[in-house]
Structure 1
Amino acid sequence: MGKNIEIVVVGGGYAGVMAANRMRQRGDVKVTVVNPRQVFVPRLRLHQLVAGTHDAVVDYQEVLADDVDLLVDNATRIDAARRTVTLAEGGSIGYDYLIYAVGSHSGGLQVPGASEFAYPVATLEAAQGLRSVLQDRPMAAAVTVVGGGPVGIETAAELAEQGRSVRLVCGGVVGPSLHPSARRTARKYLTGLGVEVIEGPGTSVTAVRSGEVELVDGRALPSEVTVWAAGFGVPELARRSGLRTDTAGRLLTDETLTSVDSPRIVAAGDASAPSDLPFRMSAYIAGCLGAHAADTVLARIADERPAPIDLSFQAMCFSFGRGAGIFQLLDKDDTAKRWYFTGFMGRKLKEFSCAASVKHLVTEARQPGSHHWPKDGVHRPAQLGARSENESAPGA
């Protein structure tokens, strides 16, 4: 059978690789992944890269199926009418279907001084740059990590375990997605590693300057190295291409993950906004969305009706250096349960989750269509219904 259906996947992260591997259930498709790097980046490891405990790269030969082409380049524009993708190195590539999986990066760098004096950590290049900066600073240099979510917590803990002087500025509570009792454990682990945790009202950063950060309550905190682990942003590719996006720049889709502008474009991962109600950033979610995006394209090729996205949530996990972790169990609607694992068991479960996020890609490469995930069928329809009622209510 000739390979005459061209599938282009823009982005080679968890979602893009899963989608590319899964598309191979058909023998008549030619799949090309467009990605700016020659290596796969397991982003769950970037905080370890900063501290020097992991290199946070995996060869694409390990995770991408042999018959999927990797094109190392940047996509600069998508022409939905002509079905082409313009490439930074020159020329373009055509597609029959495009899977948009460009991922995400840190947001909030619009805070005055942040782009000049703070170091993000959400990409391979940013993490490598921060590691180089830290290597040139003495261990006693004051490090301020901005952001009380998973990236901020794990980066602060990893650096403190190395013996650095670390302050974590949360801009609210530390670990807001954790159950309150798990949050208390997180504080205990951080302070045990020597991290100064600054949380509560008035702790949002309003300015970053050379040698200090300023908080909304007026405090100026000394900081020789400021690490930016707050906020959320996505590449501008969709918006630049004239495709409709949400306010953060994620590609707007229906519940099948199909672009509202073109049935030939399907989105997955952090840069997708199904029904303008996006899922949170997560390697687990990205993999599930990547698989579903491929299923949507496969259904369209077969002239079948694609199914709406459906997934339930199980857990989220945090590492606190190499010695401890919290594995927070979740309800199907992504809210924290009272139950969680801590200490050595929490760390082991966290490590298992990091390894599994890559192993799922490897398995899908060998057995396309094998990835399955738990479904819910209740909470997301309820969310969509509640929003629809609110929008139709008088005065809305």
Structure 2
Amino acid sequence: MTEHNTSHRVVVIGGGYAGTLAANRLRMRDDVDITLVNPRPEFVERIRLHQFVARTGDATIDYGTLLGEGIRLVVDSATRIDAAARVVRLASGRALDYDYVVYAVGSTGAVPSVPGAAEFGWPIAELESAQRLRARLEELPLKASVTVVGGGLTGVETAAELAEQGRRVTLVCGRALAPYLSAGGRRYVAKWLTRHGVAVVEGGTVTEVRPDAVVLADGSAGGVVRPSALTIWTAGFGLPELAAASGLRTDALGRLLTDETLTSVDDDRVVGAGDAAAPSGRPLRMSGYAAGPLGARAADTVLSRIAGTGPAVIDLAFTGACVSLGRHAGIRQIAGKDDVAVNIYVPGRMGAIIKELTCRFVVSRRIRLEAGKPGSMGWPKGGPRPGQPSSSARAATSP
């Protein structure tokens, strides 16, 4: 670490994959006062929430094992970034002074507009909603019908986890099943789901969710009514409204608009990271894979501005995705640097092992290593930015 005299106050808003890594990386300088604001006292592994719901794994980690020495954790919610006063205002009424803000609030599930979905659909994108869903599942007989809406990676993993336990599951895919995967990868997933009793409805449009059923469009006035004792909603993404509430420009979904250095287009003291950032209005795919490098780049941008040097632009090459299919199978899909899947994948038990190692790598080899040795994290470079279509415009995937 470099020795300096003046303290620079940085508030990191959001303690997910991007925010936690950014906070640890900011310790590359010992004159940075780092405060991490998060609404929960524990780190949530969102990529394990489907395991948590099925009681096949945990999804929380003590921040004490993740954060580097000197980082202050404030368990609260940010309600506004007050640029004029240069403070972050919190729900508790407190205000945190800052010189720079790392905006890493993450994403959540979208609020569905389908009639009945908000009332009778059960989301899984947040720890609290996953806790409620887990409790509800425990009340249901094993043979009760369960519908999972959303054919992205979260929907596939949730359906697979429950099917492996012997539950009767229907997976409704708005477009294709697992559209991010290659054709071969999708066929493998479809065969696994069918073999484990999952009824896959591709191209299905849910027009209504009822307490005990879902209604699918079929061209008729009433649609097709399918019994569903529990409907789990995994379709779509939503974003916290903090940026807009703070007068910062966002894209249509609510991501903070930034330049290629992840700096807000409205305020050079606000730097975006993770799912909540939209560099040049063309965000990278929402994913745990992208969160770490985006968090690291956001920290580097802040440190460059403190040092008075020009920050580098984000450069991230994708390599593919991992999908778990219960506890004993999975698929590692290979993709090009532009995040377009190629027809190479690793299925079965080896796919499951790779997925588990990847989940552990995100925490142990990224976040914890950065806590012990700030600045150590690297990532694949040579992606298609800037000037090429974003990966998120080509593939609908899960966080």
Length-normalised TM-score, structure 2: 0.94
Partner of 1:388: none
Provide the C-alpha distance between the structure 2 equivalents of 1:214 and 1:259, rounded to a whole number of angstroms: 42
From 260, 264, 267, the equivalent of 2:265 is 260
| Cα offsets for 1:249-292 (capped at 9, x unmatched) | 11000010000110000000011111110011111100110000
Alpha-carbon distance in structure 2 between the residues aligned to 1:68 and 1:7:
10
Counterpart secondary structure, 1:32: strand
SS at match of 1:279: coil
Offset at residue 108 of structure 1 (A): 4.4
Match of 2:156 in 1: 153
Letter in 1 for 2:315: D
In structure 2, give the amino acid aligned to 1:236: E
Displacement, 1:216? 2.9
Q: Could you tell me whether the CA contact under 8 Å between 2:111 and 2:118 is conserved in 1?
A: no
In the TM superposition, 1:1-396 aligns within 5 A as 1-2=4-5, 4-200=7-203, 203-217=204-218, 218-359=223-364, 360-376=366-382, 379-383=384-388
Counterparts of 1:41 and 1:213, CA distance in 2: 30
Write out per-residue CA displacement over residues 144-172 of structure 1, whole angstroms, 9 at most, x where no aligned residue: 00000010000000011111111000111
Q: How many angstroms apart in 1 are the aligned matches of 2:389 and 2:224?
A: 41
Q: Does the CA contact (< 8 Å) of 2:110 and 2:238 recur in 1? A: yes
**Alpha-carbon distance change, 76 to 350 in structure 1, aligned in 2, over 3 angstroms:** same
How far apart are the structure 2 equivalents of 1:42 and 1:85? 25
**Alignment-mate amino acid for residue 273 of structure 2:** A
Supply the AA of the counterpart residue of 1:361. Answer: I
> For residue 57 of structure 1, what is the amino acid of its counterpart?
T
Q: For the structure 1 residues 20 and 3, does the alpha-carbon distance in structure 2 shift closer, same or farther, using more than 3 Å as the test? A: farther
CA contact (8 A) 1:73 1:88 kept: yes
The percentage of counterpart residues that share the same residue type is 57
Structure 1: segments with no counterpart, 5+ residues:
386-396
Displacement of 1:111 in angstroms is 1.7
Distance in 2 between the 1:30 and 1:193 partners?
52
Deviations along 1:366-396, whole A, 9 cap, x unmatched?
A: 000000001105x2234169xxxxxxxxxxx
Q: In structure 2, how many angstroms separate the alpha carbons of the residues matched to 1:206 and 1:67?
A: 51
Residue 365 of structure 1 aligns with an amino acid whose one-letter code is: A
Q: Distance in 2 between matches of 1:3 and 1:42?
A: 35
CA distance in 1, matches of 2:262, 2:363: 23
Q: How many corresponding residue pairs?
A: 382
Unpaired runs of 5+ residues, structure 2, are: 391-399
Paired with 2:225 and 2:99, the residues of 1 have a C-alpha distance of 54
Deviations along 1:170-202, whole A, 9 cap, x unmatched? Answer: 1111000000011000001111111111102xx
CA contact (8 A) 1:3 1:27 kept: no
DSSP 3-state at the match of 1:383? coil
Contact 2:332 2:351 in 1 (8 A): yes
> 1:110 deviation in Å?
2.2
Q: 2:76, 2:92 within 8 Å by CA — same for their partners in 1?
A: yes
For the residue of structure 2 that corresponds to 1:144, the secondary structure is strand
In angstroms, what is the RMSD of aligned CA positions? 1.2
Whether contact under 8 Å (1:214, 1:220) holds in the other structure is yes
Q: Contact (CA 8 Å) 2:159, 2:198: kept in 1 or not? A: yes
Write out per-residue CA displacement over residues 79-136 of structure 1, whole angstroms, 9 at most, x where no aligned residue: 1222111111112111000000001111142221111001100111111110000001
AA of the residue aligned to 1:189: W
Residue 380 of structure 1: SS of its match in structure 2?
coil
Runs of 4+ in 1 over 4 A off after TM superposition: none
Between the aligned partners of 2:268 and 2:323, the Cα distance in structure 1 is 38
1:66 Cα offset (Å): 2.2
Moved more, 127-136 or 108-117: 108-117
